[in-house]
Amino acid sequence: MTNNQRLVFIALLASQAVIISLLERAIPFPFAVAPGAKLGLANMITIMALYTLSTKDTMHVIGIRITLASLLGGTISTLMYSGAGALLSFIGMVLMKKIGGNKISIIGVSVVGAVLHNVGQLLIASMVANTWTVMLYLPVLSMIGILSGIAIGIAANYILTHVNRLNYYKDLQTFQVERG
Amino acid sequence: MLRQLIKIMRRGDMIIVILLFLLSFLPLAIFTYVQASVSDDATKIAVVKMDNEIIETITLTGNRGTQSFEIVADDGDINTVEIIDEKIRIRSATCPDQVCILTSFIENPGETIVCIPHKVVIEIQAENHHEELLISS
């Protein structure tokens, strides 16, 4: 992948992620029992980036997404919450992908990402509220996170295996890695 | 979709899912453990905080009847707190997510109602007659 191709691909993924997060925000809240729970559709893009780009470029995609999505329809606190969630889930997913290797599929990576996203948000919430009992809310959130994580993993797997263009980028990256 | 799931899913994924599921109950386990060390005869006090400043303390033990009051922030956010006998809840709030209202009544030491958008926290503390406070924020 030439440098320009790489930049365009990063921009493409980031813009898709921004649109998806904005659309997701517009969907009326689907789980009445657990406010704060989200489908995490934007995570799909993060996973795609993780499987097609280098770790550093994936970080760029996430950074652009968080900044733009917060600027377009959020507040400072949403920036804080989604930032912490995204950072933690990104670290978790990268580690999972590295350590897991062949034993862990895209679903495992996606589930780890979803749950850690919730953990990150609750950590910020307990810091804001100054009481760690906020963490008691975790089981409800992580339950939904696990389910949506599995679904997102399947969706991302579909995209990765069925979109030829992505495979093309995937090959380019491995090619580059092998050579360099 | 299920067939797809079985096709991709590996054993490692199952282990991760189960592990994460169990780990998410860890805070609950710690909470229960901490709470178990509070004796039953302690006086229960509800502490209402906004922006980490205590604005009201209510002794719940021995309380009878229904009281309610409003917490009004400078920027117009309102949380209505209601106390019925020895339980306390937030009855209504002008926040978008309404988590505090869904939490409903709390009555045991250590339990909290948190309204993140308004930074309102109601926490029940136990005042032991014999020893120091065991629950802290």
Predicted confidence at residue A111, as pLDDT, reads 93
Range of the domain at B101: 40-127
Q: Are residues B56 and B12 in the same domain?
A: no
Q: Which of A103-107, A132-136, B26-30, B51-55 has the lowest mean pLDDT?
A: A132-136
SS3 A33: coil
The DSSP 8-state label assigned to residue A29 in this structure reads P
Task: For A116-129, give one letter per residue: b (16+ CB within 10 A) or e.
Answer: bbbbbbbbbbbebb
Q: Which residues of B touch A153 (CB under 8 A)?
A: 8
Residue B137 lies in a domain: no
Question: Once rounded to an integer, what is the mean pLDDT over residues A57-65?
Answer: 92
| Position with higher pLDDT, A6 vs A111 | A111
Q: Does B9 touch chain A (CB under 8 A)?
A: yes
Confidence of residue A63 (pLDDT cuts 50, 70, 90): very high
Looking at the predicted structure, is the pLDDT value of residue A177 above 70? no
Looking at the predicted structure, is the pLDDT value of residue B136 above 60? no
CA torsion angle A23 A24 A26 A30 (round to 10): 150
- The nearest CA of chain A is from the CA of B3 a distance in Å of 11
Predicted confidence at residue A180, as pLDDT, reads 44
Contact B119 A128 (CB under 8 A): yes
Predicted confidence at residue A176, as pLDDT, reads 53
Predicted confidence at residue A168, as pLDDT, reads 66
| Position with higher pLDDT, A43 vs A163 | A43
Q: Are residues B78 and B48 in the same domain?
A: yes
Which of the residue ranges A71-80, B2-11, B30-39, B82-91 has the most confident prediction, judged by mean pLDDT?
B82-91
Nearest CB among B16, B20, B116 relative to A128 is that of B116
Residue A134: give its domain's CATH number.
1.10.1760
Predicted confidence at residue A14, as pLDDT, reads 93
Predicted confidence at residue A175, as pLDDT, reads 53
Q: Beta-strand (E) ranges in A29-165?
A: none
Percent of chain A with pLDDT over 70: 84
Please count the structural domains in chain B: 2
Residue B72: give its domain's CATH number.
2.60.320.10
Looking at the predicted structure, is the pLDDT value of residue B135 above 60? no
Looking at the predicted structure, is the pLDDT value of residue A93 above 90? yes
Q: Residue A146's closest chain B neighbor by CA?
A: B17
- The nearest CA of chain B is from the CA of A41 a distance in Å of 17
| Position with higher pLDDT, A153 vs B132 | A153
Q: Are residues B100 and B120 in the same domain?
A: yes
- CB–CB contacts below 8 A, A to B: 101
List pLDDT tens digits, range A100-132: 878 888 899 999 999 999 999 889 888 887 777
Query: What is the pLDDT of chain A when averaged over all its residues?
Result: 83
Q: Are residues B74 and B115 in the same domain?
A: yes
Range of the domain at A158: 3-179
The interface residues of chain B toward chain A in range 41-60, judged by CB-CB distance below 8 A, are: 49, 52
Q: Are residues B58 and B27 in the same domain?
A: no
Q: Are residues B45 and B90 in the same domain?
A: yes
Contact A107 B112 (CB under 8 A): no
Please count the structural domains in chain A: 1
Can you give B15-74 as a three-state secondary structure string? HHHHHHHHHCCHHHHHHHHHHHCCCCCCEEEEEEEECCEEEEEEECCCCCCEEEEEEECC
**Are the C-beta atoms of residues A52 and A170 closer than 8 Å to each other?**
yes
List pLDDT tens digits, range B52-89: 888 888 888 888 888 888 888 888 888 898 988 888 98
Q: Are residues B45 and B28 in the same domain?
A: no
- Distance, in Å, from the CA atom of A5 to the CA atom of A11, rounded to the nearest integer, reads 10
Query: What DSSP string describes B74-126?
Result: TTS-EEEEEEETTEEEEEEE--SS-HHHHH--B-STT-EEEETTTTEEEEEEE
Contact A131 B114 (CB under 8 A): yes
Contact B5 A130 (CB under 8 A): no
Which of A116, A131, A146 is the best substitution to test chain B (most B C-beta atoms within 10 A)? A131
Confidence of residue B101 (pLDDT cuts 50, 70, 90): confident
| Position with higher pLDDT, B92 vs B3 | B92
Both tokens of B126, joined, read 């136990």
Percent of chain B with pLDDT over 70: 88
Q: Are residues B28 and B45 in the same domain?
A: no
